[in-house]
Amino acid sequence: MKCPFCGFEESKVTDSRASTAGDVIRRRRECEKCARRFTTYERVEETLPMVIKKDGRRELFDRKKVLSGIRRACEKRPVTLDAMEGLVDSIERELVESQDKEVPGTRIGEMVMSRLRSLDEVAYVRFASVYRSFRDVSEFRAELDLLARENGANKLDEKVPGS
């Protein structure tokens, strides 16, 4: 494994741990030249589908992109990185199990939203506001009203200032 600090190609493994789901191995490594430590992750390479973007372009499914969007939505929320990575893991598993060669990006967005909704409602609304491109406050309000109705909590006026 190439050292990310000095580029030397020899390193030794100092610690290995399996993820809780058992599908990823986390390895702590130490460069044999500069002695700096770094972490690598090893996972089975699975065939993921191509993502069909809204404009018709096709690109490979990118776990980092999905995780980045989730991290932004969960910023300053009580959601652990493990929970966010677990969310992405479940999406990847579902995509692999579907055996589809191509999947619309909208499907992935909906998968993220349904999982975020049960994980953290504020993160869900943040993600939905970007994903669905709310044009104004009324669209945002409609989504909040829907969420409140589904939770049986019709106290939205208490939660949203200026109502």
How much is the average pLDDT of 146-153?
A: 74
- 97 domain-assigned: yes
State both tokens at 57: 């372009």
Secondary structure in 3-state letters for 63-78? HHHHHHHHHHHCCCCC
How much is the average pLDDT of 28-54?
A: 91
Q: Are residues 35 and 56 in the same domain?
A: no
Per-residue pLDDT band at 161 (split at 50, 70, 90): low
What per-residue confidence (pLDDT) applies to 163? 47
pTM value is 0.62
The residue behind tokens 């200032």 is 161
Please say whether the beta carbons of 5 and 14 come within 8 A. Answer: no
What per-residue confidence (pLDDT) applies to 144? 79
- 163 domain-assigned: no
Mean pLDDT across the chain = 87
Beta strand 58-60 with 50-52 is antiparallel
Identify the H or E element spanning 38: strand 37-43
Count the domains in the chain.
2
Domain that holds residue 103: 46-132
- 150 domain-assigned: no
- Residue 140 pLDDT > 70: yes
Please say whether the beta carbons of 95 and 77 come within 8 A. Answer: no
- 156 domain-assigned: no
Which neighbouring-strand residues pair with 17? 26
State both tokens at 7: 């580029």
Size of the chain, expressed as the number of residues it contains: 163
Burial of residue 161, with CB atoms counted within 10 A of its CB: 0-12 exposed, 13-18 middle, 19 or more buried: exposed
pLDDT in tens, 79-115: 999 999 999 999 999 998 998 999 999 999 999 999 9
How much is the average pLDDT of 28-50?
A: 90
pLDDT in tens, 113-135: 999 989 998 998 889 888 777 77
Q: Are residues 71 and 102 in the same domain?
A: yes
